[in-house]
Amino acid sequence: MHRSIHVIIGAISGLFFASKLYLIPLCLIMGGIGGYIPDFDLRFGHRKSLHNLFSVLIGGIGLYLLLNLFPLNLLRNNVWSLTLSFVAGWLLHICCDSLTKRGVYIIWPFSNRVYGLRIFRSDSLASTAMGFIIAFILLLSWLIYSGALELLIKYL
């Protein structure tokens, strides 16, 4: 899948952790960053070094600790929401890449085995369409979960 789709899916996943209205933009950003981070390994061990549960755990703990250092109460009081948004974006990136032919090394460095459904080529139209379908389903689910869809329908 294209990186932009990973960012969109990650951002939308971040919405589920915005417990307050003012957190929506921050959780969108953190989810989007989480959706982008795994592709930093394009130059070295792609789909290995950052496409595994171990790196998600280390990244999530690192971000949690980093956010606790910030003097801004807005960040420090919402560390869990922001960290979970980031982790959700990262995990969904890995899940989406598991649909591609190359799969992912989900339990690396403990195993070099590739996992995934391995249905699409990364650069195919089908994987792009699947990415948009996943993003749409996530957004619709959040609209229902948050009650925003009901409000939209009520005011239309």
Tens of pLDDT, residues 64-97: 999 888 777 767 788 999 999 999 999 999 999 9
Cα–Cα dist 51/98, whole Å: 9
Q: How far is CA 155 from the centre of its chain?
A: 31
User: Which pLDDT score, from 0 to 100, does residue 140 have?
Assistant: 96
Q: Which residues touch 115 (CB under 8 Å, ≥6 apart)?
A: 98, 103, 104, 105, 106, 107
Cα–Cα dist 56/88, whole Å: 9
pLDDT digits (tens, 9 = 90+) for 16-40: 999 899 999 999 999 999 999 998 8
User: Which pLDDT score, from 0 to 100, does residue 45 have?
Assistant: 62
Cα–Cα dist 26/81, whole Å: 9
